Amino acid sequence: MFTKAITRKPCKALIDGITTYLADGKPVYENAIKQHDKYVATLKELGLQVTELDADERFPDSCFVEDPAVVMERCAVITNPARDSRNGEKFEIVDAIQKFYSDDQVFHIEAPGTMEGGDVMRVGDHFYVGQSDRTNAEGARQFNDIVTKFGYTSSTVPVVEGLHLKDFAIYLENNNMLVSEIMDKEPAFKDFNRFVVPAEEIYAINSLYINGTVIVPKGYPKTQKAIEDMGYPIKLVDSGEFKKIDGSLTCLSLRF
């Protein structure tokens, strides 16, 4: 059960955010603000107390607060983002994290380990850590050493497409997952009920389960129907401006 979330307002510099979705063009700041406001309002509608951090113009991607930290009930891990343009974000999230955790519950991934929260998918008390261009084996090892002290477990899975694990596999609770065609073949996920999202709707894999409801990106009817057919109530949120800089629904908040 989630009760809290941390978000950060988009900055005007987000037009310079990291992107592979070049065909979609650059995000429009004013539209991004409106979409972000709707996203935060939706979290609040679902019962979360949201801490809204101010925009940080030094870091174009800083609205994606999920990447510089991984939070859970018993501890929090400040990650070590792999890209230079994002690495400084880890220092700016610490104060917000420390409002909710004591000093002995906050840990850091240290170089040469790298990690971004978009590669960390939680299933119960287990974490699947995607090994990707952003999260390396040393980062995953340090993460495992930290969380196992608090009764959690973790294992790694390869990310062989795109940016982060959660762009291609998302757990929706009740043993249900949304996966890409490639992640459908991942042995670690064989015992889950998997819905393979069609290639043209791949962005919709990154839907967000909050306390029984699933927030789904607007504009992906096949995935929306699949989630509804699983029995979940849904809320549609437009995140199209964030898609242009490789961002999606889970990226925009830390939930705990």
pLDDT per position as a tens digit, 27-71: 999 999 999 999 999 999 999 999 999 999 999 999 999 999 999
Domain ranges of the chain: 4-255
- 8 Å CB contact between 22 and 66: no
Question: Is the pLDDT score of 84 beyond 60?
Answer: yes
pTM above 0.75, yes or no: yes
The reply to whether 75 belongs to the active site is: no
- 8 Å CB contact between 5 and 50: yes
- Residue corresponding to tokens 């974000």: 89
State the Cα–Cα distance between residues 91 and 59, nearest whole angstrom: 12
**Complete edge-to-edge strand list for the sheet that includes strand 208-210:** 208-210, 213-217, 234-237
State the Cα–Cα distance between residues 46 and 133, nearest whole angstrom: 33
% of the chain with per-residue pLDDT over 70: 98
**CATH class of the region 4-255:** alpha beta
DSSP state of 32: H
The reply to whether 164 belongs to the active site is: yes
